[in-house]
Structure 1
Amino acid sequence: MSSSLLRPLDGSHRQMFIGGAWVDALSGEVFETRNPATGELLATVPAGSAADVDRAVKAARKALEGPWSRFKPAARQALLLKVAELFEQRWEEIALSDTLDMGMPITRSRANRHRALGTLRFYAGMATALHGETISDSLPVGEHFAFTRKEPVGVVGAIIPWNGPTASTIWKIGPALATGCAVVLKPSEEAPLTPLLLAEIMAEAGVPEGVVNVVTGTGQAAGAPLAEHPDVDKVVFTGSTATGQSILRASAGNLKRVSLELGGKSPVILCADADLERAVPVAAMAVFGNSGQICIAGSRLFVAREIHDEFVGRLAKFAEGLRVGRGIDPETEIGPLISRRQMERVLGYLDKGRAEGARLEAGGGRLSEGGLAAGNFIQPTVFAGVADEMTIAREEIFGPVISAMPFDDLEEVVARANATPYGLAAGIFTRDLSTAHRLAARIKAGSVWVNTYHAIDPALPFGGYKMSGFGREGGVDHLYEYLNTKSVVIRLD
């Protein structure tokens, strides 16, 4: 099988992957994907629709009921290990794809190697460790043997965002391969190239035809039909809360199982005893990493009043020292935003922050000098004097913007940190173990990091509280999201 991805990213055409074949949309329509750092055309991609989703779902169902159903756990484990091996061999190509397609600095995309490969190998390890239970017989009549079986949920519709194409693809497809499900993946139209590349590598590794399918297109034209499709058994989605709500409504048709990892407005709490040398770069990159385009961005920074001014001053100096530029430059620390539309959206939040009375300590505008003129670059921005009711303190910005606010005691900061509809992540900086435990127990968030941030391990479950969604990715919990439990009772006498 030849791949459509071996050509350079020079504006040539790519195809989507359905049933083990590279195909165009049935309509023949295409869309463009461009480098957010330069505006240059990278490729044209099929604009898939409901008809393309339908043929992908049929291919997945055929695979699920065909040879794929006869793969033993050890065979699925071996397949995942082979996928991980090929990913490792081609990691530079994968990293470059993420950098060009969505702007991630090349140093960051290269550094994601450990997490991505570790996640695949974790799933491989779990493939042979998933099992049911034997149940003690307590039925009133006769003698029985009772046990449970874990079985694949079926065809999974996976819809991913643009801000981490490799990680999102692995988080959706990895557990499907481990559990014996089949997948139809709909990547974001803003960054579709890496998921197509990963599908190529998986096919090279020996993933059977139809087990992994990638349909490119917009959320409305391809994502919505996938969420609504009557032969999809489960939908997994990462993205905005509003879209997650739409997917949940769409799942009602055949009562699909749904996992949602949605938006966030995560608090980071700096206690008075925090190690400032450690906290400054970590708290800064909790937001500025990936140009703020990350659901767990710790954008609400609560700082103990006695260290507030010193910490904000250090933070602003750190922000001003970050190198903003094209992701392909190995010296770049902050890349572009994904699109002109997203850049304008973030600039609108900067205007609102100033208009509502926040004090600008660093950044605050677009960078468009010299080689940055054609890209979507925004300065790493620090606001102080922010009140909880301000727009920048309440809404998810998805850009490199920190809102710093003082607090006076722990009771106060817990209440303020939890005063949000979201609950995805939180950070705490303190030298006191008792304080760390007390705060971690009371913050309503799916992940709480102490004296660190963005510490995501393959063995740890990740997901949200409240309107940040439900279901978990990572850890054993993740695999069970892709499994049904069947009870079997046999009368023996």
Structure 2
Amino acid sequence: MDVDKISFTGSTDVGRLVMEAAAKSNLKHVSLELGGKSPVIVFDDADLDMVLDLVRMATFYNKGEVCVSGSRIYVQEGIYDEFVKKIAEKAKSWVVGDPFNPTVHQGPQIDKVQFERVLNYIDLGKREGATLLTGGKPCGEKGYYIEPTIFTDVKEDMKIAQDEIFGPVMSLMKFETIEEAIEKANSTRYGLAAGVLTKDINIANRVSRSVRAGSIWINCYFAIDKDVPFGGYKMSGFGKELGMHGIEKYMQVKSVVTVGNMTYNAAEKAYHEY
């Protein structure tokens, strides 16, 4: 009852519990930064070499254990086949191993539970009918290391396309039109971040206005700055961190009205005239 505000970062399920506890106590203010299943939309005109490096980082950085991980990759049909071929090569060159080694890109999953959870999702993806392009297995005989994994032929209703896996697993999907890309990007219960890769500023502006996510990164990813508000839509939570908007949830508005040397009757008359 003595706590006025809670800021929680974690899973959507635990976020619900935090809201419930706040409602049952003193209706304290809550801000939630929860799960994500962020799309990265790649248009035909994008610089393919730049795109490949950005997409690889968006999905596999920090072994995929990032709330804004760009794990749903939508590629326009004109470059899709070439993209698939080259991203498989990029994934195979992503070095997994001791994170204290400066030549290594990816370390182990955080613990055994998460390691097994990611492997279960990879197995589920195969059983759901997606095609395993590369990866999909543990690395080495010791530790919680998993190969960078890419699925193609992924459908929107598959678990690997809808659930936050929190591991190095990429779902590749194809689109034709801008309208289709927007519809697919929004086909998730989450709305934390999204990437848009294109040289056309009109496409970038249209998509960034239409995708329901709290952060939209155009021709970049993980571009976080202390002055830029960060926070999600939908089941990714609410409230902002960083920037002036990040302070608002810690403040309350108070109205103070002062009447000068006025008698009660005069004040009452002024009120009724108002």
TM category, shorter: over 0.9
Offset at 1:488? Answer: 1.8
Q: Paired residue for 2:212?
A: 444
- CA RMSD, aligned part only? 0.9
The amino acid across from 1:368 in the alignment is G
Number of aligned positions between the proteins: 260
1:340 alignment partner, one of 112, 131, 135: 112
Matched, 1:296 2:68: yes
1:417 alignment partner, one of 185, 188, 213: 185
Matched, 1:247 2:46: no
**TM-score (norm: length of structure 2):** 0.93
Q: Paired residue for 1:358?
A: 130
Determine the C-alpha separation between the residues in 2 that align with 1:306 and 1:334. Answer: 31
Offset at 1:486? Answer: 2.0
Determine the C-alpha separation between the residues in 2 that align with 1:492 and 1:291. Answer: 64
Q: Paired residue for 2:155?
A: 387
Q: Paired residue for 2:3?
A: 232
Fraction of identical pairs, as percent: 50
Secondary structure of 1:303's match? Answer: strand
Matched, 1:271 2:271: no
Secondary structure of 1:427's match? Answer: strand
Determine the C-alpha separation between the residues in 2 that align with 1:306 and 1:352. Answer: 29
Q: Paired residue for 1:487?
A: 255
Q: What do the CA deviations read for 1:447-489 (whole angstroms, capped 9, x no partner)?
A: 0001100000100000000110000001001112212222222
Structure 1 unaligned residues grouped into runs of 5+: 1-229
Determine the C-alpha separation between the residues in 2 that align with 1:473 and 1:323. Answer: 33
Q: Paired residue for 1:311?
A: 83
Higher relative contact order (CA 8 A, sep 6+): 2
Q: Paired residue for 1:471?
A: 239
Determine the C-alpha separation between the residues in 2 that align with 1:428 and 1:315. Answer: 17
Secondary structure of 1:487's match? Answer: coil
Q: Paired residue for 1:98?
A: none
Q: What do the CA deviations read for 1:406-455 (whole angstroms, capped 9, x no partner)?
A: 01111111111101111000001001000000000000000000110000
Secondary structure of 1:491's match? Answer: coil
Structure 2 unaligned residues grouped into runs of 5+: 262-274
Matched, 1:458 2:229: no
Determine the C-alpha separation between the residues in 1 that align with 2:87 and 2:253. Answer: 50
2:102 alignment partner, one of 330, 341, 348: 330
Q: Which has the higher helix share?
A: 1
Offset at 1:238? Answer: 0.5
- What is the correspondence of 1:162-177 to structure 2 with a 5 Å cutoff? none
